[in-house]
Amino acid sequence: MSFLESPFAPLVGGALIGLSSLLLFNVHGKIAGISGIVGRLFEQATSDKAWRLVFLVGLLVPGVIFASIGSEAFALTPVPLSLATVAGVLVGFGTTIANGCTSGHGVCGIARLRKRSIVATLVFMTTGVISTFITHQLIGGF
């Protein structure tokens, strides 16, 4: 069993997410909410685009590197591109309605004991469980 197949890989990943969120908040006073960081990157009036772009690149580059080194670590689900696109658009609408995403509410908001983040994360998780059930049980899964 390689490190990537062991239970330690997700633990290390989770610890790194928590550490990076803590550093961003303590150093820059910013919440590590991906939808807010990316969304404000495309606003005209945003003056802090540089750190947002660096943050986004920092999210994407390691994934590309690891995918090229050991693609077996990335499980691919054979979902049609059209379904993935619709799902992505719905997630975008959801994060806009919820004023944040799982990283902003789930990681940062819950850590700060914000009630709205706890409620939002419960809604995210419940919706995810229901969507997975419907996809795998009623539609036949992918």
The per-residue pLDDT for 74 is 63
The per-residue pLDDT for 40 is 84
In the structure encoding, which two tokens stand for residue 73, read together?
Answer: 């670590």
The per-residue pLDDT for 116 is 92
In the structure encoding, which two tokens stand for residue 95, read together?
Answer: 């994060």
Contact 122, 129 (CB under 8 A): no
Q: Which residues of the chain have pLDDT under 50?
A: none
The per-residue pLDDT for 95 is 83
The per-residue pLDDT for 140 is 66
The per-residue pLDDT for 41 is 84
The per-residue pLDDT for 94 is 82
Distance CA(101)–CA(98), nearest Å, equals 7
- For 10, 12, 13, 22, 107, the CA distances from 16, given in Å and listed in that order, are 10, 6, 5, 10, 12
In 3D space, the residue among 97, 92, 101 whose CA is nearest the CA of residue 32 turns out to be 101
Distance CA(131)–CA(125), nearest Å, equals 10
